[in-house]
Structure 1
Amino acid sequence: MDDLRDVDEPVDESELAIEGALRPSSLAEFVGQQKVRGQLQLLLDAARIQQRPADHILLSGPPGLGKTTLAMIVAHESDRPLRLSSGPAIQHAGDLAALLSSLTPGEVLFIDEVHRMARSAEEMLYLAMEDFRIDIMVGKGAGATSIPLDLAPFTLVGATTRSGLLPNPLRDRFGFTAHLEYYEPVELERVIERSARLIGVAVPPEARAEIARRSRGTPRIANRLLRRVRDYLIVHGDGADADHAIVDAALDLYDVDPIGLDRLDRAVLDAVVRRFRGGPVGLSTLAVTVGEEAETIESVVEPYLVRIGFLGRTPRGRVATPEAYAHLGVRSPESMLELDDL
């Protein structure tokens, strides 16, 4: 079965169209992140009153919490055009120079995964953010000269899932930095209620709560699970609402268990618990064991397992907790020792 998680995988045009339709277009429609919303609203209102572009904004946090959506809202509420790019696409200073020189006055530039930009581009961005100017090098060697190029004032919105990888000079040039937190189940229920209304699916409160419990605190995953429930309802529902039984059947079909773990999550836990007797086990060894890239395990699987207390990181490697043993229905070493003492 396909893993319903936030990974870099191809998405068909219909899925992209639905995701776009589900995105809120204003801060008032945006669910959750109340503190960040209030801070952004103040930032945008001040810029509007002073008739200037908003300060540069850095949005950090795990994938799927709404960083791209907030960038779109910044452009929409500022009544400015939005230019989209990403760190991996900017691998040379020339790439960034071409992008910056084509911006119109006040335009909002969104760079996703900004920490993955090339170092030469990062250094060019320092001057562009601070003075709206870049220096273009012409020629090579001793005869090379630097030609300054003025830029139209713009607002940079950077998004990153790993803010610790950003160099301090770049981080310091953002006028506002926000960290997005995982959502509470009640907030996800509101996201699901809104999305269900937009895609025309009737989802009773108890079914919304069940989807929210399996969504790993992430709105993007909640919307994806909702779409799979909708698909199941179309095929097997016979015109019924997406009740608790329908949600259970649909998500069980896609290997999403009652707390949101999927096939890969359980494979990682099972390897640590059964194959390596609870650990510690190194990341590369664990990746080979489950047949997955180490980066995928570290960035996609581990954060949730650590957050819910199923996995621990130690200097010697990953270790399973008693909660992980209990979830898999396996006796933990601690419980075995307790039985031996009786």
Structure 2
Amino acid sequence: MADGFSSEMFEDSSIDATARVVDTGSDADERTVEAALRPRRLSEFTGQTRVCDQLSLVLEAAKRRGTPPDHVLLSGPPGLGKTTLAMLIGTELERPIRITSGPAIQHAGDLAAVLSSLMEGEVLFLDEIHRMSRSAEEMLYLAMEDFRVDVIVGKGPGATAIPLELPAFTVVGATTRAGLLPAPLRDRFGFTGHLDFYAPDELVTILERSARLLEVSADTDGITEIARRSRGTPRVANRLLRRVRDWAQVHGRQVVDEEAAHAALALFDVDDRGLDRLDRAVLDSLCRRFGGGPVGLSTLAVAVGEEADTVETVAEPFLVREGFITRTPRGRAATPLAWQHLGLTPPQGYTAQPSLPLDTGEGRFGA
């Protein structure tokens, strides 16, 4: 098996073999907890009803035909369940799933090593697929369409391309920036699902399930308060639940109630609208330093001490969705709601420019 991969099995044996690229900079305990909270069947997945119904139809039809389903592309902001859905595809098909990521595949040879070890009907999950190298993307075109790759042997004029036939398999790609995928690659996915932010009642359902799995005693008011501040994102909701649980245990509270949620979330800098430190830093910079904007993304990122991609993919989607900032051809601008949330008064005659539709990856405005 290729370097950097290892075999692994889920606790319910729903996935037989997993090759995972390990990120040594991540918290293993947190990943283990998050994996334990993931649903085990597609029917247990809460929210994203339209995408789940469509995906269920695609998978069921493929199972009845006895063939691998079309390649699947899942897009949307971080933390909404793209990886979970990819896992569930392998579970529903009762086939192994191979896991890697775009940044880990920087050469065509890296991809060839993965593809050559695939089994019939196996699922290949490529997280952050838009970050693959161009040479690997071009190899993936051929592999997805014709199930073969051309292995180059030798160099210079004597180099020879040897075609390597591959068994039929399914690629599941996940990306937060679908617009950065080249059109030839995007067109080879037979099903594309876009995941959107969750409604508060859906997050309540997710948190109630997570509380049961974590053996956390929580009342309805406490769960509702956490859901309300979770930015419409299950990953954030589950993380906040664990932090509120920690606060309750340290302070001798037996139940996660509304009071515990208020105190814990205040300690972790999550305000009553769900804005965290980065969100407030973006709004503060826009209003205090740049007079409400508009200001370019790169300048704004430098002002808050973060990478431009972090501001654009983590903070901005939520702030635009909640009406705190707008995106204009000249850059980002604060809305009156942002000034109000910070307790500031906008300059006399200040009006934010109309917002452009929220971009999910089709390009950058004002960068």
TM-score (ref. length: structure 2): 0.87
**Structure with greater contact order relative to length (CA < 8 Å, sep ≥ 6):** 1
Q: Which of 329, 334, 342 is equivalent to 1:328?
A: 342
User: Is 2:78–2:313's contact at 8 Å kept on the other side of the alignment?
Assistant: no
Q: Does 1:303 align with 2:317?
A: yes
TM-superposition CA deviations, 1:252-274 (whole Å, max 9, x none): 00000011111121111111111
Cross-structure match for 1:22: 37
CA distance in 2, matches of 1:294, 1:175: 32
Cross-structure match for 1:287: 301
Cross-structure match for 1:172: 187
TM-superposition CA deviations, 1:267-299 (whole Å, max 9, x none): 111111112111122222222222222222122
CA distance in 2, matches of 1:149, 1:320: 54
Q: Does 1:39 align with 2:47?
A: no
Cross-structure match for 2:175: 160
CA distance in 1, matches of 2:118, 2:350: 65
User: Once the 2 structures are TM-superposed, how far is the Cα of residue 9 of structure 1 from its aligned partner?
Assistant: 9.9
Q: Following superposition of structure 1 onto structure 2, how do residues 115-126 of structure 1 map, counting pairs within 5 Å? A: 115-126=130-141
Cross-structure match for 1:315: 329
Amino acid at match of 1:54: P
Cross-structure match for 1:141: 156
CA distance in 1, matches of 2:148, 2:107: 17
User: Is 2:123–2:172's contact at 8 Å kept on the other side of the alignment?
Assistant: yes
Q: Which of 250, 253, 257 is equivalent to 1:235?
A: 250
Cross-structure match for 2:223: 208
Amino acid at match of 2:328: T
In structure 2, the CA distance between the partners of 1:56 and 1:215, relative to structure 1 (3 Å rule), is same
Report the 3-state secondary structure (helix = DSSP H, G, I; strand = E; otherwise coil) of the residue aligned with 1:194.
helix
User: Once the 2 structures are TM-superposed, how far is the Cα of residue 75 of structure 1 from its aligned partner?
Assistant: 0.4
Q: Which runs of 5+ in 1 are unaligned?
A: 1-7, 338-342
Percent identity, please. 65
Q: Does 1:271 align with 2:285?
A: yes
User: Once the 2 structures are TM-superposed, how far is the Cα of residue 11 of structure 1 from its aligned partner?
Assistant: 3.7
User: Once the 2 structures are TM-superposed, how far is the Cα of residue 326 of structure 1 from its aligned partner?
Assistant: 0.7
CA distance in 2, matches of 1:161, 1:90: 17
TM-superposition CA deviations, 1:34-85 (whole Å, max 9, x none): 1111111111111111111121111011110101000110001111011100
CA distance in 2, matches of 1:219, 1:318: 27
Q: Which runs of 5+ in 2 are unaligned?
A: 1-22, 352-367
CA RMSD between the two structures: 1.6
Report the 3-state secondary structure (helix = DSSP H, G, I; strand = E; otherwise coil) of the residue aligned with 2:333.
strand
User: Once the 2 structures are TM-superposed, how far is the Cα of residue 101 of structure 1 from its aligned partner?
Assistant: 0.2
CA distance in 2, matches of 1:293, 1:9: 21
Q: Does 1:196 align with 2:211?
A: yes
Amino acid at match of 1:153: A
Q: Does 1:253 align with 2:272?
A: no
User: Is 2:265–2:271's contact at 8 Å kept on the other side of the alignment?
Assistant: yes
Q: Following superposition of structure 1 onto structure 2, how do residues 85-104 of structure 1 map, counting pairs within 5 Å? A: 85-104=100-119
TM-score (ref. length: structure 1): 0.93
Count of matched residue positions in the alignment of Structure 1 and Structure 2: 329
Report the 3-state secondary structure (helix = DSSP H, G, I; strand = E; otherwise coil) of the residue aligned with 2:44.
coil
CA distance in 2, matches of 1:227, 1:336: 41
More helix by share: 1
User: Once the 2 structures are TM-superposed, how far is the Cα of residue 90 of structure 1 from its aligned partner?
Assistant: 0.6
